[in-house]
Amino acid sequence: MNMKLIELDNITFRYEKEEPAVLKDFSLAVAEGSCVIIEGDNGSGKTTLFRILTGLSFPEKGEYSFDGTNITREYMKDNANSKKFHKKIGYLFQSPDVMLFNPRVYDEIAFGPRQMGLSDQDVEARVADCLEMFNLRDLADKAPYHLSGGQKKRVALAAVLALNPDVMILDEPYAGLDKKTQEWLTQILIELKASGKTIIVATHSGELLSEAADEIIVMK
Ligand SMILES: Nc1ncnc2c1ncn2[C@@H]1O[C@H](COP(=O)(O)OP(=O)(O)OP(=O)(O)O)[C@@H](O)[C@H]1O
Ligand SMILES: [Mg+2]
């Protein structure tokens, strides 16, 4: 059997003990290098699923395996483990406000690469690439919290990509973007996929990415 990069095996998750499960006996398998779209109504559990995939929440039942490793609360408690895991998997939160906390756009994008211990020169080169790619050069010295919603989203995406993760988990990346920027994002995602990245996108605009999608999963 072909091992998948990401495998959720019959997981069940609920936020509060007495509440009904948000995810019940849910399974998912994602092959390396594929692009999967997650659709579903508001409240169907897309963001919850992403919290589990990124190791922020843990199912009460079932297993999550990433690249052959079982991702459990115990495993993630070990700093070396969680660091290794987070290096491979990038997460764009549904709300960019949650992600942006640096004084300048430049520092926002440089934050991850600095954390990774890259040299100043390498950080600079990577940030310059991202600013260019996301058309953010003119905003580099601005405060992220003063930007418009769509600009914030672009900065948050650039900050995720600056880490160059193998897997990208993007929660509503198209929301709040104008048409031109949406089309531009689609091209970026197609290029990332072509370069071998694994991409999982929650969106209500799946049609924008149909060209790149290998699978569409609808949450119920
Ligand atoms: N922190 C939390 N505590 C308790 N319940 C929560 C929490 N976060 C989400 N929920 C509940 O879990 C369910 C799934 O929410 P989730 O955010 O995963 O949905 P979603 O598919 O991402 O929705 P949307 O399309 O609006 O982003 C909802 O019923 C929600 O009320
Ligand atoms: Mg959501």
For the segment 29-60, what is each residue's pLDDT rounded down to a tens digit?
Answer: 999 999 999 999 999 999 999 999 999 999 99
**H helices within 45-148, ranges in order?**
46-53, 73-77, 79-88, 105-115, 120-133
Written as six digits, the tokens of 203 are 């969106």
Q: Is 175 helix (H, G, I), strand (E, B) or coil?
A: coil
pLDDT for res 27: 98
Residue with tokens 């509440």: 19
Residue with tokens 């987070």: 86
pLDDT for res 105: 98
pLDDT for res 195: 96
- Classify the phi-psi angles of 62: left when phi > 0, otherwise alpha if psi is within -120 to 50, otherwise beta: left
Is 180 part of any domain?
yes
Written as six digits, the tokens of 104 are 């300048």
Q: Is 6 helix (H, G, I), strand (E, B) or coil?
A: strand
Strands (E), 101-214: 167-171, 198-202
Is 41 part of any domain?
yes
CATH of the domain at 53: 3.40.50.300
Is residue 1 scored above 60 in pLDDT?
A: no
Is 126 part of any domain?
yes
Q: Please state, in angstroms and rounded to a whole number, the distance separating the CA atoms of residues 213 and 74.
A: 33
Is residue 75 scored above 80 in pLDDT?
A: yes
Q: Say if ligand 1 is within 6 A of residue 15 CB.
A: yes
Is 13 part of any domain?
yes
Name the residue of 11, 47, 49 whose CB sits within 8 Å of the most ligand 1 atoms, as the mutation to test its pocket: 47
Mean pLDDT, rounded, for 148-168: 95
Assess contact for 144 and 163: CB atoms under 8 A: no
| Kind plus residue range of the DSSP H or E element containing 70 | strand 69-70
Ligand nearest, relative to CA of residue 204: 1
pLDDT for res 3: 75
Ligand 1 centroid to residue 43 C-alpha, Å = 5
Mean pLDDT, rounded, for 151-157: 95
Average pLDDT value for the chain: 95
2 falls in which pLDDT band (50, 70, 90)?
low
Residue with tokens 């104008």: 178
Written as six digits, the tokens of 136 are 């953010």
Number of independent structural domains in the chain: 1
Atom from ligand 1 closest to the CA of residue 45: 18
Ligand nearest, relative to CA of residue 22: 1
Is residue 89 scored above 70 in pLDDT?
A: yes
Domain of residue 56 covers 6-219
Ligand 2 centroid to residue 52 C-alpha, Å = 13
Is residue 117 scored above 90 in pLDDT?
A: no
Instruction: Classify each residue of 25-44 as buried b or exposed e, where b means 16 or more C-beta atoms within 10 Å of its C-beta.
Output: ebebbbeebbbbbbbeeeeb
Assess contact for 63 and 9: CB atoms under 8 A: yes
Is 35 part of any domain?
yes
Is 1 part of any domain?
no
Ligand 1 centroid to residue 46 C-alpha, Å = 8
pTM of the entire predicted model: 0.95
Is 52 part of any domain?
yes
Residue with tokens 């010295």: 141
Is 53 part of any domain?
yes
Mean pLDDT, rounded, for 76-104: 95
Which residues lie across from 36 on neighbouring strands?
A: 200, 215
Dihedral through CA 118, CA 120, CA 125, CA 127, nearest 10? 80
pLDDT for res 95: 94
